[in-house]
Amino acid sequence: MFDLDRAVATWTESVFADRCVSDARVAELKDHLYCEIERLRAEGHSAEQAFQSAVATLGETTALAAEAAKDRSVLATACVALARAERRDLRRAFRAPLMAHAILWAAVMLGIALMLSKSATPDSLSFLTISLLVPCWWASEQILRRALEQGAAGHGR
Protein backbone atom coordinates (compact mmCIF):
# COMPACT_ATOMS: atom_id res chain seq x y z
CA MET A 1 0.00 0.00 0.00
CA PHE A 2 1.27 3.47 -0.91
CA ASP A 3 2.37 5.63 2.05
CA LEU A 4 2.13 9.25 0.91
CA ASP A 5 3.92 10.77 3.90
CA ARG A 6 6.82 8.33 3.57
CA ALA A 7 7.05 9.02 -0.17
CA VAL A 8 7.12 12.78 0.44
CA ALA A 9 9.78 12.42 3.15
CA THR A 10 11.94 10.19 0.94
CA TRP A 11 11.61 12.54 -2.02
CA THR A 12 12.43 15.59 0.12
CA GLU A 13 15.49 13.82 1.54
CA SER A 14 16.67 13.09 -1.98
CA VAL A 15 16.38 16.77 -2.90
CA PHE A 16 18.27 17.85 0.21
CA ALA A 17 20.67 14.90 0.38
CA ASP A 18 23.48 17.10 1.65
CA ARG A 19 21.49 17.69 4.89
CA CYS A 20 22.69 21.28 5.11
CA VAL A 21 19.43 23.10 4.73
CA SER A 22 17.16 24.93 7.10
CA ASP A 23 14.00 23.33 8.40
CA ALA A 24 12.06 26.23 6.89
CA ARG A 25 13.32 25.42 3.38
CA VAL A 26 12.39 21.75 3.78
CA ALA A 27 8.96 22.71 5.12
CA GLU A 28 8.45 25.10 2.20
CA LEU A 29 9.25 22.42 -0.37
CA LYS A 30 7.00 19.89 1.38
CA ASP A 31 4.22 22.45 1.48
CA HIS A 32 4.50 23.06 -2.28
CA LEU A 33 4.46 19.32 -2.90
CA TYR A 34 1.46 18.69 -0.63
CA CYS A 35 -0.47 21.59 -2.22
CA GLU A 36 0.08 20.10 -5.67
CA ILE A 37 -0.90 16.65 -4.38
CA GLU A 38 -4.11 18.03 -2.85
CA ARG A 39 -4.97 19.76 -6.12
CA LEU A 40 -4.48 16.55 -8.06
CA ARG A 41 -6.41 14.50 -5.50
CA ALA A 42 -9.32 16.93 -5.87
CA GLU A 43 -9.25 16.14 -9.60
CA GLY A 44 -9.77 12.46 -8.77
CA HIS A 45 -6.22 11.07 -8.88
CA SER A 46 -5.12 8.41 -6.39
CA ALA A 47 -2.55 9.37 -3.77
CA GLU A 48 0.21 7.60 -5.68
CA GLN A 49 -0.74 9.13 -9.03
CA ALA A 50 -1.02 12.57 -7.44
CA PHE A 51 2.40 12.18 -5.83
CA GLN A 52 4.06 11.08 -9.09
CA SER A 53 2.45 13.94 -11.02
CA ALA A 54 3.31 16.50 -8.34
CA VAL A 55 6.95 15.39 -8.29
CA ALA A 56 7.09 15.64 -12.06
CA THR A 57 5.54 19.11 -11.92
CA LEU A 58 8.02 20.39 -9.32
CA GLY A 59 10.98 19.13 -11.33
CA GLU A 60 13.99 16.88 -11.08
CA THR A 61 15.59 16.53 -7.66
CA THR A 62 18.99 17.58 -9.02
CA ALA A 63 17.53 20.80 -10.47
CA LEU A 64 15.77 21.58 -7.20
CA ALA A 65 18.95 20.92 -5.22
CA ALA A 66 20.89 23.21 -7.57
CA GLU A 67 18.27 25.91 -7.12
CA ALA A 68 18.53 25.59 -3.34
CA ALA A 69 22.32 25.83 -3.58
CA LYS A 70 22.17 29.25 -5.28
CA ASP A 71 21.40 31.19 -2.12
CA ARG A 72 23.44 29.18 0.38
CA SER A 73 25.42 30.99 3.01
CA VAL A 74 29.15 30.43 3.41
CA LEU A 75 28.46 28.28 6.48
CA ALA A 76 25.92 26.14 4.59
CA THR A 77 28.38 25.73 1.71
CA ALA A 78 31.02 24.50 4.17
CA CYS A 79 28.43 22.16 5.68
CA VAL A 80 27.71 20.69 2.24
CA ALA A 81 31.40 20.10 1.62
CA LEU A 82 31.74 18.34 4.97
CA ALA A 83 28.63 16.24 4.36
CA ARG A 84 29.97 15.11 0.98
CA ALA A 85 33.33 14.26 2.54
CA GLU A 86 31.58 12.31 5.27
CA ARG A 87 29.56 10.30 2.76
CA ARG A 88 32.69 9.62 0.74
CA ASP A 89 34.90 8.69 3.70
CA LEU A 90 32.51 6.94 6.04
CA ARG A 91 31.23 3.90 4.27
CA ARG A 92 28.75 1.82 6.23
CA ALA A 93 31.40 -0.73 7.09
CA PHE A 94 33.53 1.99 8.71
CA ARG A 95 30.88 3.39 11.02
CA ALA A 96 30.96 0.69 13.70
CA PRO A 97 34.76 0.70 14.26
CA LEU A 98 34.90 4.49 14.18
CA MET A 99 32.01 4.77 16.64
CA ALA A 100 33.64 2.23 18.98
CA HIS A 101 36.90 4.16 18.72
CA ALA A 102 35.17 7.45 19.58
CA ILE A 103 33.32 5.92 22.55
CA LEU A 104 36.53 4.38 23.86
CA TRP A 105 38.37 7.68 23.65
CA ALA A 106 35.48 9.56 25.25
CA ALA A 107 35.50 7.10 28.14
CA VAL A 108 39.26 7.50 28.55
CA MET A 109 39.01 11.30 28.51
CA LEU A 110 36.13 11.34 30.98
CA GLY A 111 37.90 8.88 33.27
CA ILE A 112 41.09 10.93 33.29
CA ALA A 113 39.12 14.14 33.83
CA LEU A 114 37.34 12.59 36.80
CA MET A 115 40.60 11.32 38.30
CA LEU A 116 42.24 14.71 37.84
CA SER A 117 39.29 16.52 39.40
CA LYS A 118 39.56 14.38 42.55
CA SER A 119 43.34 14.64 42.86
CA ALA A 120 45.48 17.48 44.11
CA THR A 121 46.87 18.08 40.64
CA PRO A 122 47.22 21.78 39.73
CA ASP A 123 44.58 23.05 37.30
CA SER A 124 47.17 23.98 34.68
CA LEU A 125 48.53 20.41 34.62
CA SER A 126 44.99 19.01 34.40
CA PHE A 127 44.21 21.31 31.48
CA LEU A 128 47.43 20.34 29.74
CA THR A 129 46.72 16.64 30.21
CA ILE A 130 43.20 16.87 28.82
CA SER A 131 44.26 19.16 25.95
CA LEU A 132 46.92 16.63 24.92
CA LEU A 133 44.33 13.84 24.74
CA VAL A 134 42.33 15.54 21.98
CA PRO A 135 45.16 15.55 19.39
CA CYS A 136 46.00 11.97 20.39
CA TRP A 137 42.39 10.95 19.75
CA TRP A 138 42.37 12.76 16.40
CA ALA A 139 45.65 11.18 15.30
CA SER A 140 44.50 7.70 16.29
CA GLU A 141 41.24 8.23 14.40
CA GLN A 142 43.15 9.20 11.26
CA ILE A 143 45.30 6.07 11.60
CA LEU A 144 42.18 3.94 12.04
CA ARG A 145 40.51 5.54 9.00
CA ARG A 146 43.56 4.84 6.83
CA ALA A 147 43.75 1.26 8.06
CA LEU A 148 40.06 0.74 7.30
CA GLU A 149 40.43 2.24 3.82
CA GLN A 150 43.49 0.12 3.07
CA GLY A 151 41.71 -2.97 4.37
CA ALA A 152 38.70 -2.23 2.19
CA ALA A 153 40.92 -1.65 -0.84
CA GLY A 154 42.79 -4.88 -0.14
CA HIS A 155 39.57 -6.88 -0.05
CA GLY A 156 38.40 -5.53 -3.40
CA ARG A 157 35.53 -3.38 -2.11
Mean pLDDT value across residues 66-86: 64
What kind and span of H or E run contains 151?
Answer: helix 123-154
Question: Looking at the domain assignment, is residue 84 inside a domain?
Answer: no
Q: Are residues 96 and 71 in the same domain?
A: no
Q: For the segment 43-66, what is each residue's pLDDT rounded down to a tens digit?
A: 999 999 999 998 888 877 777 766
* Residue 81 domain-assigned (yes or no): no
Are 18 and 84 in contact by the 8 Å Cβ rule? The answer is yes
- Residue with more model confidence, 8 or 21: 8
Q: Residue 107 contacts by C-beta under 8 Å, 6 or more apart in sequence? A: none
* pLDDT for the residue numbered 156: 46
Confidence band (pLDDT; 50, 70, 90) for 70? Answer: low
Q: For residue 157, what pLDDT is reported?
A: 41
Residue 52 falls within a domain, yes or no? yes
Domain total in the chain: 2
Domain that holds residue 26: 4-76
pTM: 0.46
User: Counting every residue, how long is the chain?
Assistant: 157
Question: Do both 53 and 106 map to the same domain?
Answer: no
